[in-house]
A and B are shown apart, each in its own frame.
Chain A
Amino acid sequence: MDAILNVGSVTAAQKARQLLKKAGIFVEITRTRTAGCGYAVRVREEKKVLAAALLKEGGVRVKP
């Protein structure tokens, strides 16, 4: 099962992918599933909390 972390722009998604890759977490960029357009990263469910924390630390805002 995968989790979706909404990050907003495609630049934020690229930055998120770069940050998480450095930590050994591989993600896929995808579109958000919520209303309005935007981008998200798809991450394995068990890595969701760690990934969100790493993104916060790296200055990428994860939207609810």
Chain B
Amino acid sequence: MIYLDNAATSFPKPRSCVREMRRALRAPLGNPGRGGHRAALEAAQLVYRARCMTADFFDLADPARVVFCQNTTAALNTVLWGLLGAGKEEKSRVLVSVLEHNSVLRPLYELRRRGAVTLDFFVPCEDEEVCLARFCAALRPNTRLACVTCRSNVSGLAPPVFSLCRAAHKNRTLFLADAAQAAGFDDISMRRDGIDYLCAPAHKGLYGVTGLGILLVSPRAPLPKPLLYGGAGFAGERRQMPPLLPERLEAGTLPVHAIAALCGGLTFLRQEGRESIVRREQRHSARLFEGAEDAGCHLHSVRDAPMVTLTHPRFAPEELAEKLDRARIAARAGLHCAPLAHAALGTLESGALRLSVGAFTSRRQIERTLKVLRQILR
């Protein structure tokens, strides 16, 4: 199979990921933070190693500020509900990019329905200065939080996070970055970029497995209230969740085996080098872009992204995806859970077909895909 749906989840997984997960399954690992015996402490050590590697990867000094969640949606909901859902008398104002995924939009719509927030939107674009100007124009003196994706899952557009963060902080606005597509692809530094909250999945560009999301909280950012309440492994006599990270936001047992896989994924990125993987992916997507354009497709993605998003005047995206699947090529069609991004691109009615490459995509697979695409469109 030619797998071109890496934006949904990466496949195949690197050997280091499989090795770490297999080792974790075979080793006597207990429940981390839930006992003093050797097996529980071994598991805790593994989890701490993953926190350190993740903190290092995203340039965050304190590994205790790496919070593990069920997925990116849970990480985003933790920040949104934990900051904005506390039932303050005054509504919080939130600035949102139109590129956001439903994992950001839906919690915000629900918060708005409950009267907790007012939403403002801005439209990011490729020109950094124009994008910044639009962002600043949409900021209000009382904007409490800005939610911006680091890279759109539809068009692959990457807003200038560093500049937007600086503008947000000048306005005393907190910055929430959704790195669902960018983590592992873009160079993200919590410290340099000034991001307050970063949410990312383990199973996409970080080459781990599903069932694990990551929330990174900057040292200057206020702690969100927990989304879930339950066991934290210590201070069991207290009625409240403990005040310190990461346990404050990690009620219940952690997915140790998925966390082991994350260690393997991060090891892969370190050994291969993120930049070299990115260069390879960009070469492949540039070739796909060019080939699809020559075949008469309308392209809706930016050129430096690891994805190509397209429509065709004669074929519906779902039809194209089905025909590709018959040729054993996995690609995703639809709205990709980002309706405002499609509205901005003019593809809300039709949706679009997305071909997303990964670290293991080969030149041969790209050429084969283009050949099949040309045959379909003939």
Q: Which A residues form the contact surface with B (CB < 8 A)? A: 8-15, 18, 29-31, 35-39, 59, 61
Collect the chain B residues with CB atoms within 8 Å of residue A39's CB.
33, 36, 234
Inter-chain contact B63/A15, CB cutoff 8 Å: yes
Assuming A29-B41, A30-B36, A31-B36, is B64 touching A12 (CB within 8 A)?
A: yes
Of the candidates A12, A18, A35, the one whose C-beta lies within 8 Å of that of B237 is A35
Inter-chain contact B235/A36, CB cutoff 8 Å: yes
Collect the chain B residues with CB atoms within 8 Å of residue A13's CB.
44
Q: Which of B36-69 contact A (CB under 8 A)?
A: 36, 41, 44-45, 47-48, 51-52, 62-64
| 29 A-B contacts (beta carbon < 8 Å) | A8-B244, A9-B33, A9-B233, A9-B242, A9-B244, A10-B44, A10-B233, A11-B33, A11-B47, A11-B247, A12-B64, A12-B244, A14-B44, A14-B45, A15-B63, A15-B64, A18-B48, A18-B52, A29-B41, A29-B44, A31-B35, A31-B36, A35-B237, A36-B234, A37-B235, A38-B234, A38-B235, A39-B33, A59-B62
B32 part of interface (Cβ distance < 8 Å): yes
Q: B194: shortest Cβ distance to chain A, in Å? A: 21
Collect the chain B residues with CB atoms within 8 Å of residue A30's CB.
36
Interface range on chain B: under 10, 10 to 19, 20 to 34, or 35 or more?
20 to 34
B246 part of interface (Cβ distance < 8 Å): yes
Complex Cα distance, B139 from A43, in Å, reads 52
Complex Cα distance, B235 from A12, in Å, reads 13
Inter-chain contact B48/A14, CB cutoff 8 Å: yes
Collect the chain B residues with CB atoms within 8 Å of residue A15's CB.
48, 63-64
Closest residue to B44 on the A side, CB-wise? A10
Complex Cα distance, B61 from A18, in Å, reads 13
* Overall SS of chain A's interface: mixed
Inter-chain contact A36/B236, CB cutoff 8 Å: yes
Closest residue to B41 on the A side, CB-wise? A29
B232 part of interface (Cβ distance < 8 Å): yes
Complex Cα distance, B41 from A36, in Å, reads 18
Q: B259: shortest Cβ distance to chain A, in Å? A: 13
Q: Which of B88-126 contact A (CB under 8 A)?
A: none
Collect the chain A residues with CB atoms within 8 Å of residue B33's CB.
9-11, 39
Closest residue to B247 on the A side, CB-wise? A9
Complex Cα distance, B47 from A14, in Å, reads 10
Assuming A38-B234, A38-B235, A59-B62, is B32 touching A10 (CB within 8 A)?
A: yes
Collect the chain B residues with CB atoms within 8 Å of residue A29's CB.
36, 41, 44
Of the candidates A9, A18, A31, the one whose C-beta lies within 8 Å of that of B232 is A9
Closest residue to B62 on the A side, CB-wise? A59
Inter-chain contact A36/B237, CB cutoff 8 Å: yes
